[in-house]
Amino acid sequence: MPTIAAIATPPGAGGIGIVRLSGPRSKALLARMFLPLSPRFENFRPWFMHRGRVLDQHGEALDDVLAVFMPGPRTFTGEDMVEIHCHGGPLIVQAVLESVLRLGARQAERGEFSRRAFVNGRMDLSQAEAVAELIAAPSREALRYSLNRLDGLLGRRVLALREELEALRVQVCLAVDFPEEEVECLAPADFGRAVGEVAHSVRLLLAGQKRAKVMQQGAVVVLAGAVNAGKSSLLNALLGRNRALVTDIPGTTRDFLEEACDLDGLPVRLTDTAGLRRPDADAAASGGADAVEALGMALSREKLGQADCILLVLDGARLGEAGAAAETCPDAAARQVLELAGDTPVLLVWNKSDLCAPAVFPPRWSDGRFCCMVSARSGDNVDALAQSLRQILLADGLDNPPSDGLAPNARQALALEEALAELEELEADVRAGRSYDCCAVRLDTAAARLGEVTGLSSPAEVLDRVFAQFCIGK
């Protein structure tokens, strides 16, 4: 196994720059380029920072540094490792790396340090992915989910489920291989029940996928509704600053406006869209079709299809008490949004509550949707709206969601979905009385799919794709 080296700190100037080595020659390469400056130097005592001067291939000094030797297998990669801590100027760090490479180390590829950790059993594949996700985490909640995976929580949970399937397979094999022998065999009812329990556990793991996506990538929230309902004012209220132009003139927002915000640790991209009108009312409202406004409304409809959640803003002052007490939605634009929303969750926002706070709330026609009464102009109840929005975005569709923060990424979720599909087919086979040898095949497939989550049965091309997303120094 060749010794690899890379810069482990971000590009650009900084106080400290780190060059990292991993492999069997790490200590020997360090010894060839390190001149100790301390009289107490003890031949690179492990896990001890040694002060000295690092030299180039000609013996000329490059920098005063601190160097540490970390013997395997109790290192990140499971191999002997070295870190050289030099001053963080880009020229200095690059010169130190070049000196290491000229002495015989090889430039590390993307994710190669983490890949060696995986190969050497220091972490499973889900933990390796968590390293990259931890570095790129856009929010504190994303950090929490990544740390859970880095601790191996997801991997241990999946491994336990895989072991349950393996135990079932042993009992199924007994029934297939020794049909005439007097051995204790798993009854079909018990077999189906055990498979169902594993399938339920997989569903619980998959329930966290949406949360993981939102935490890692952020959520898209679209503000939609009638012209002059107060969408731009609400955007400004959620942002805590005036970003959108607000007037009493209908059709002020003709394009869409996107701004990022943080909802108590949740990254969100708010999209303010042009107000919607009924197609048959466009001409009457504007005295002739406004081509620019029409394009804006077309973009609004397009953005609705991209949303993770829709804030349907209602003009409370216009709808009044009667609008809240009506059995059907009296707002034509709101009805249009609800039709376009499909399965996308919708939060009804009754705006201008300072002008009309109806006695009947939520509106009778809300059909069980989340509702919130706010005044974007005064800021009343905007914080409660933000909390409701956060709750909707993190909902996983379960009555009793797991509280341990487990959330698979897209690759892991795909493997879990394939395992679940096999388990559901297996349940159907057991109910239909299919032979145990046929059932054993589905058990094997489901176990293999679960193994892909932690890398136990992942092909090389999958590993290549995973580690290619890493930075060079990790």
With a cut of 70, say whether residue 299 has pLDDT above it.
no
- Least Cα distance to 426 among 163, 198, 206, 205 occurs for 198
Q: Tokens at residue 301, please?
A: 């409809």
Position 185 scores a pLDDT of 63
Query: pLDDT digit string (tens) for 8-52?
Result: 998 888 899 999 999 999 999 999 999 998 888 888 999 999 999
Position 280 scores a pLDDT of 46
Confidence of residue 249 (pLDDT cuts 50, 70, 90): very low
Lowest mean pLDDT across 236-250, 295-309, 414-428, 432-446: 236-250
Q: What percent of the chain has pLDDT over 90?
A: 38
Query: Are 312 and 276 a contacting pair, CB within 8 Å?
Result: no
Confidence of residue 294 (pLDDT cuts 50, 70, 90): low
Q: Quick one: DSSP state of residue 44?
A: S
Number of Cβ atoms within 10 Å of the Cβ of 442: 22
Position 257 scores a pLDDT of 80
CA distance 324 to 360: 6
With a cut of 80, say whether residue 202 has pLDDT above it.
yes
The mean pLDDT of 240-258, rounded to a whole number, is: 51
With a cut of 90, say whether residue 75 has pLDDT above it.
yes
The mean pLDDT of 173-178, rounded to a whole number, is: 63
CA distance 41 to 102: 25
Show the domains of the chain with their CATH numbers: 4-108 (3.30.1360.120), 131-208+406-467 (1.20.120.430), 217-393 (3.40.50.300)
Position 54 scores a pLDDT of 94
With a cut of 60, say whether residue 156 has pLDDT above it.
yes
- Least Cα distance to 224 among 301, 130, 328, 127 occurs for 301
With a cut of 50, say whether residue 403 has pLDDT above it.
no
Position 287 scores a pLDDT of 47
Query: pLDDT digit string (tens) for 304-360?
Result: 878 889 999 999 999 999 999 999 999 888 888 888 888 889 999 999 998 999 999
The mean pLDDT of 410-439, rounded to a whole number, is: 89
Q: What percent of the chain has pLDDT over 70?
A: 85
DSSP states of 381-447 as a string?
Answer: THHHHHHHHHHHHT--S-SS--SS-----HHHHHHHHHHHHHHHHHHHHHHTT--HHHHHHHHHHHH
Position 138 scores a pLDDT of 74
Task: Give the three-state DSSP class for 449.
Answer: helix
The mean pLDDT of 178-187, rounded to a whole number, is: 57
* Confidence (pTM): 0.67
| Cβ neighbours for 441, distance < 8 A, ≥ 6 positions apart | none
The mean pLDDT of 373-380, rounded to a whole number, is: 90
The mean pLDDT of 111-121, rounded to a whole number, is: 91
With a cut of 90, say whether residue 434 has pLDDT above it.
no
Q: In the chain, what are the helix, strand and coil shares in percent, each to the nearest 5?
A: 45, 20, 35
Position 168 scores a pLDDT of 87
- Least Cα distance to 307 among 223, 222, 374, 245 occurs for 222
- Residue 418, phi then psi, degrees to nearest 5: -65, -40
Confidence of residue 298 (pLDDT cuts 50, 70, 90): low
Query: Are 1 and 79 a contacting pair, CB within 8 Å?
Result: yes
Position 92 scores a pLDDT of 94
The more confident residue out of 369 and 81 is 81
CA distance 153 to 144: 12
With a cut of 50, say whether residue 282 has pLDDT above it.
no
Lowest mean pLDDT across 109-118, 175-184, 260-269, 420-429: 175-184
* Average pLDDT of every residue of the chain: 83
* Ranges 50-54, 172-176, 228-232, 454-458, most confident: 50-54
Confidence of residue 116 (pLDDT cuts 50, 70, 90): very high
Position 28 scores a pLDDT of 95
